[in-house]
A and B are shown apart, each in its own frame.
Chain A
Amino acid sequence: MKTCLIIDDSRMIRRIAGRIIKDLGFDTDEAATSQDALEKCQIEMPDVILVDWNMPVMDGYDFLKALRSQKNGDTPTVLFCTSERDVSRIMDALSAGADEYIMKPFDSDIIESKFHLAGLI
């Protein structure tokens, strides 16, 4: 079973996204901070990462740059899941290596559609 790491400082978002992604047939893991997520990725690289933009200490954008410079860091499919909706932010995320971009609020149809677009299902 493919694995998905959900990185968000909101427990509620982690729980809701986790439930939807489990229903899509993925094993899920959670991280409340980017640092925690990077450590988890060093131990075992997930197949998919869903990452928020705005988080304390290290934001999602810096996390993605750090991830992509890690060994095997180019393998996970990364989807941003954020309330940032500016086109410039979306372009930044894509140029940093994001595969898709989800704007909050989201529902199960959106997550399913984005996973489909990213070739995950």
Chain B
Amino acid sequence: MGFFLEVLIGGLLAGVLYSLVALGFVLIFKASGVFNFAQGAMVLTAGLALVRALDVFEQWHWPFGLALLSAFVFAAVIMAIIAWMVERLVLRKLVNQEDIILFMATIGITFFLEGLAQTLFGADVYPLNVGLPKDPIFLLESLFDGGILVNELDIWAAVAAGLLVAGLALFFQRTRIGRALRAVADDHAAAQSVGIPLNQIWFIVWLVAGLVALVAGAVWGSKLGVQFSLSLLALKALPVLILGGFTSVPGAIIGGLIIGAGEKLAEVFLGPSMGGGIEIWFAYVVALLFLLFRPQGLFGERIIERV
């Protein structure tokens, strides 16, 4: 029983980490209808910028707090430049194209960003320390033999994700820009006709997605070290997106929790009888089964097709 709880909690926390990445997808899809495959590459770029800047500032013997803050600012500026370049060079030229074309363009951006980030910042593994504690905690040692293992870093990541989601929800519901974003997601042409400046909106939304990627990069980088396989996280976030719906921020979190828990439980309890390694496809199969009953995901907007 204790072990089950341990796996469950571990899974839920891992799921929150996935939803951090999925949030970026949701933001961009919600606001521009673009399925941004480059989100993983953005996490990598943001993480690399952060860790290298931090290394440089620490070499200059700046106090940790100042170095960390400046590194975050530096990485945010890099993400802003990327958002601006994407909007200017890609999105503006591909207005009104089909979704699949925009999706392919984001895959092109993925390649470009991966190459650029590694050229500028290096291809090594960089351990990242943003001041988050990484030690394991053992809960309820009296009740269960060995206690329930929970990782402190995961808990802090969950807190960060919660704050992000709350902030984003407020942003979308209560601010003028948030409303404009939702209008653009609904219909580009109509939004433009009521005077919403599309270019600025897209820049803002990619920038916000970039900042979300920065937070995800910081958390995952602390966990795994900042290296190339961070960009593969996008593939782990996709089932979360399907489950939660492409357009829902709370859906990303709930989807993340379900996928994370399901994945780990399946791997630990079902896996050994099937030879192990079933995590990845199990997540997708779960998402697929959900889709068969709710084609738009748990919280996504109902797809209304007009003939």
A and B part of one assembly:
no
